[in-house]
Structure 1
Amino acid sequence: MTSNDGVTALQRAVAMMDAELNVAEVPDYSGAMNGLQLEGKGTVTRIGAAVDASLPVVEKAVASGCDLLLVHHGMFWQGAQPVTGSMFRKLKLAMDAGMAIYSSHIPLDVHPMLGNNECLAKAIGMDSPEPFFPWKGIELGLQQPMEISLDELVARVGDATGAAVHHCPGRADSTVGRVGVITGGAGSEVAAIAAAGVDTFITGEGPHWSYPLAEELGVNLIYAGHYATETFGVRALAKWLANRFGAEHLFLDHPTGL
Structure 2
Amino acid sequence: MSISRTELLQAFDGLLQPERFKDYGPNGLQVEGKAEVTRIVSGVTASLALIDAAIAAGADAVFVHHGLFWRGQDGRVTGWMKQRLQRLLGHDINLFAYHLPLDAHPQWGNNAQLGRVLGFSADAQFGEQALGCIGAAAFSGVPALAEHVSQLLGRPATWVAPDGPAQRPVRRVAWCTGGAQGYFESAIAAGADVFITGEISEPQAHLARESGVGFIAAGHHATERYGAPAVAAQVAAQFGLEHQFIEIPNPA
TM-score, normalized by length of structure 2? 0.91
Asked if 1:153 is matched to 2:141, the reply is no
Q: What is the letter of the counterpart of residue 140 of structure 2?
A: S
Q: Which residue of 1 aligns with 2:62?
A: 69
Q: Distance in 1 between matches of 2:140 and 2:114?
A: 18
Native 8 Å contact 1:21 1:108 kept in 2: yes
The yes-or-no answer on 1:197 pairing with 2:156 is no
Question: What residue number does 1:217 align with?
Answer: 211
Q: Percent identity?
A: 37
Q: CA separation in 2, counterparts of 1:194 and 1:134?
A: 10
Per-residue deviation, 1:15? 0.2
Say whether the 8 Å CA contact 1:50–1:231 is kept in structure 2. Answer: yes
Q: Counterpart of 1:170?
A: 162
Q: 1:28 aligns with which of 16, 23, 28?
A: 23
CA-atom RMSD, angstroms? 1.9
Q: Is the 8 A contact 1:115 1:233 kept in 2?
A: yes
SS at match of 1:201: strand
- Aligned residue for 1:154, secondary structure, equals helix
Q: Per-residue deviation at 1:80?
A: 4.2
Which residue number in structure 1 is paired with residue 48 of structure 2? 55
* Matched residue count: 248
Using the TM superposition, give the Cα deviation of residue 218 of structure 1 relative to its aligned residue in structure 2, in angstroms: 1.1
Q: Do residues 144 (structure 1) and 139 (structure 2) align?
A: no
Q: Which stretches of structure 1, 4 residues or more, deviate above 6 A after TM superposition?
A: none
CA distance 1:90–1:111, change in 2 (3 Å): same
**Does the CA contact (< 8 Å) of 2:157 and 2:218 recur in 1?**
yes
DSSP 3-state at the match of 2:126: strand
Is there any run of 5+ residues in structure 2 with no aligned partner, and where? none
- What is the CA-CA distance between 1:148 and the residue it aligns to? 2.2
